[in-house]
Structure 1
Amino acid sequence: MRTNILVLFLLFAVPASVPAQQGLTENYGPVVEAIVARGDTAIGKYAPADSVAAGNEFSRLYFDVFEGSGMEFTLNLKDASLMLRIESGFSLIISQCMRGEPRENLEKTWAALKKDLGDAVTHYSSGEVTPGFWGRAAQSFLILFREGIEAMLVVAALVAYLRRSGYSDKVKVIWWGCALALAASAGAAWLLHAVIQASGANREVLEGVTMLIAAAVLVYVSYWLTAKRDADRWQAFVKDKMDKAVGSGSLFALGFAAFLAVFREGAETILFYQALMAGSTGQMDAIWVGMGLAAAALVLVYAAVRLASIRLPLRFFFGATAVLLFIMAFVFTGRGILELQVGGLIHTTRLDGWPMAGGLGIFPTRETVAGQLVILATLPAGWLWLRWKRSRSAAAVRSRAA
């Protein structure tokens, strides 16, 4: 649990670099009006032969207006699913422009994007630039709690695994991974702002790459835990081999998984709080109250996970932990590819009729679906690998008995 609390102290290790005049608007009307006016003009002038100009204009609308005004930030706190839908819409129309698709395709995408932007104004625009004390405290709470909960679940599951397996002395590897991730988070936050600018495609690409690496590591750890789930069938074999397994590459994988989970959330948390502080002159008390409440809530969630891990049967606990990590890998894959699409590193191809569930990282694009299908394809491959491992372990037990 110490990982999320330490993030707060790292806020002061990174120089504040979000200009105060940028602000964090919650009055979405003027922002959306500007986006719609410029977007309509871009669509009106669009020609497939000179499509890059329209693509660059929509890219500026996303990064300079939607993100730069602070609308993306505050809308994410109010309705993350709607924010992701808008983000996906921008990535799709930018990609369509860059590929020089027919105007009717762009008009269809633009109409859907305008509707989502209008919904943001209708349902979430407060009409005021600066919220009250508890409004700002709630924003502060949501940043730390929502960014911290995923990292905390991964770390708690890994710590619980080592403790339940009788390797409490190895838990320090997880905490070392967390500590290194926090240091790396501070460095990444500083680098993004001071060197390559955080409010642009570079930040999206960095986050996307980190998510995809984390997804790959979590899939590996998930199957490794699933293999250990059946260990009680071959106690003699496992007792002889477990120390070697935990003390080698698998232990590194556990620490690396903790590192990636915390790093993926840490840098973003620092940047979010810097943006919030820059736009909250005279409201620092509210921000600190929100931080404190979020830290307390995360401690309670961690304690609940820890208690549950103690009471659950070992076999069920290993299986449930493996499923949790696999689901998070599935989510990270979808979200990571979306970030790379927004950053312009991967094209975006619409899948008409495909559902969107931002909480599960499911988006209506071929690229995100393809990435998640790869993750799902590891299920039959993993099943075959586990069967092979089980057969090999059973043969080893029989040979020892003989």
Structure 2
Amino acid sequence: MKKIVMLLAMLIVFSASLPAQAAPKWEQVGQHIEQAMAEALDIYDSGDSEGAKNAVNDIYYGIYEKDGLETAIRNTVSAKNANLTEYQFSKLKKLMLQGADGAQVKDAADTLVKMVNADVQSLKGAHSSQGGWASFWPAFLILLREGIEAILVLAAIIAYLCKSGNEKYLSYVYNYSIAAIIASFITAYIFNSLTNEFGAGANQEIVEGITVLIAVVVLLSVSFWMGNKANAKVWEAYIKNMVKTSMSTGRAKTLGIAAFLAVYREGAEVVLFYQALFNSAAGDVEMIWLGFAAACVALIIIFTLIRLGALRIPLRPFFVGTSIFMYLLAVSFAGSGIKELQEGGIVSITPIEGIPMPNIDILGIYPTYETIAIQVVLLIAAVIGIVYYRKRGSVQPV
């Protein structure tokens, strides 16, 4: 517990070093987008489709994201609205590259501007009706949401080590987690510096997407491994073998890396999201810190409850449940990773139309064929794996 408190304290110290200058009001950001969009259309009408597409990219990365409008919409208005706006940006760029008729491109651009302005009005209403709480809740929910994802992974790993009598290896989890927090802030600083210097906003999404997909691979491997240890005989054999072979050169490091990636991904996102919040805070900086402090307290309580609950359940349900959870978390991460690559322009965006699809950020569910496809593949693989292991178990008991 002391280590977790120390991690949160480090987060406070690092966050305090972030700049907290006020950004333009949302109406000004919306006007900036509208003006820049008119210039992008002029470039397209001149026959430079590539230049127009790059101008739209500058609007998305340099204004919509950098000025914090996307984050504000996602956390105050609706995550669905933010995602639909992203898809409209992608649609507009695709039309430009295809050399579509000027009227068609202008219609798509006008639709995009209307969507942004509608969300700006929603944000204006939220701030006028809620005052400083409009800054408190995004700050609270951002850290709570990202922190829960990391804590669930850490709690499962910590509980596993305690359950198996290997508390001495907890230092791997804690040390890797501390390293992840430091790496998160270093990465955020580098991203911020590169963005300010070169305006390469897409690189941020690409790196984040790759990091998340690496986490998916690690989570899947840990899930399979823990699932295999659910059988009592297999677990007993493993314990005996562990006496001879130190975990410090094998599985402990694997679990440490899983902890690192889980915290690193969430930590980098928290820092970047808070940077956007501070940039758009105006006079509500104190409420952001209040939301941050409240989320830290909530995360400590959640971590304590999850850890105590996990340590009290029987061996087999614990390993089976943890294995399933890590697999489902990998499925969630997979959707989020593909979405990051979509925002970076590496993966195409094909919205699912005509079929009601939920938009759930925390589960990594987004209404596009690309994000859903990888999740469906992983779920099918899980079903095949379960059938295989059951058949193998019925033929030859372990």
TM range (shorter): 0.7 to 0.9
Counterparts in 2 of 1:73 and 1:324: CA distance versus 1, 3 Å: same
Name structure 1 gaps, 5 residues minimum: 396-402
1:313 positional shift: 2.3
1:98 positional shift: 3.5
Amino acid at match of 1:357: N
Counterparts in 2 of 1:97 and 1:327: CA distance versus 1, 3 Å: farther
**TM-score (norm: length of structure 1):** 0.81
2:147 maps to: 148
Amino acid at match of 1:150: E
Say whether residues 1:361 and 2:372 are aligned partners.
Answer: no
Counterpart mapping for 1:363-402 below 5 A: 363-380=366-383, 382-383=385-386, 386=389, 394=397
Distance 2:110 2:75 in 1: 24
Amino acid at match of 1:70: G
Distance 1:334 1:111 in 2: 29
1:319 positional shift: 1.7
1:40 positional shift: 7.0
RMSD: 3.6
Tell me if the contact between 1:155 and 1:258 (Cα under 8 Å) persists in the aligned partners: yes
Counterparts in 2 of 1:225 and 1:22: CA distance versus 1, 3 Å: same
Tell me if the contact between 2:126 and 2:134 (Cα under 8 Å) persists in the aligned partners: no
Of 6, 9, 17, which residue of structure 1 is paired with 2:10?
6
Amino acid at match of 2:360: G
Tell me if the contact between 2:184 and 2:267 (Cα under 8 Å) persists in the aligned partners: yes
1:168 maps to: 167
Counterparts in 2 of 1:106 and 1:148: CA distance versus 1, 3 Å: farther
Distance 2:179 2:75 in 1: 28
Distance 2:109 2:81 in 1: 15
The worse-fitting range, judged by mean Cα deviation, of 44-53 and 294-303 is: 44-53
Distance 2:279 2:36 in 1: 27
Tell me if the contact between 1:223 and 1:382 (Cα under 8 Å) persists in the aligned partners: no
Counterpart mapping for 1:305-316 below 5 A: 305-316=306-317
Counterpart mapping for 1:181-196 below 5 A: 181-196=180-195
Distance 1:305 1:217 in 2: 22
2:59 maps to: 61
1:250 positional shift: 2.5
The worse-fitting range, judged by mean Cα deviation, of 312-321 and 219-228 is: 312-321
1:251 positional shift: 2.0
Distance 2:285 2:32 in 1: 31
- Per-residue CA distance 1:213-269 (angstroms, 9 max, x = gap): 11111111111111112x214465333235548444322221111101111111222
Counterpart mapping for 1:66-85 below 5 A: 66-78=64-76, 79-85=78-84
2:137 maps to: 138
1:219 maps to: 220
Tell me if the contact between 2:79 and 2:359 (Cα under 8 Å) persists in the aligned partners: no
Tell me if the contact between 1:130 and 1:280 (Cα under 8 Å) persists in the aligned partners: no
Tell me if the contact between 2:87 and 2:351 (Cα under 8 Å) persists in the aligned partners: no
Counterparts in 2 of 1:191 and 1:38: CA distance versus 1, 3 Å: closer
Counterparts in 2 of 1:278 and 1:105: CA distance versus 1, 3 Å: closer
Name structure 2 gaps, 5 residues minimum: none
Counterpart mapping for 1:197-208 below 5 A: 197=196, 200-208=201-209
Tell me if the contact between 1:84 and 1:358 (Cα under 8 Å) persists in the aligned partners: no
1:309 positional shift: 0.6
- Per-residue CA distance 1:160-211 (angstroms, 9 max, x = gap): 1211222112111111110110111121122112244488212212211111
Distance 2:236 2:68 in 1: 59
1:115 positional shift: 6.4
1:392 positional shift: 11
Amino acid at match of 2:177: C
The alignment of Structure 1 onto Structure 2 pairs a total of residues equal to 388
Identity %: 32
1:302 maps to: 303
Distance 2:382 2:195 in 1: 39
Counterparts in 2 of 1:126 and 1:363: CA distance versus 1, 3 Å: same
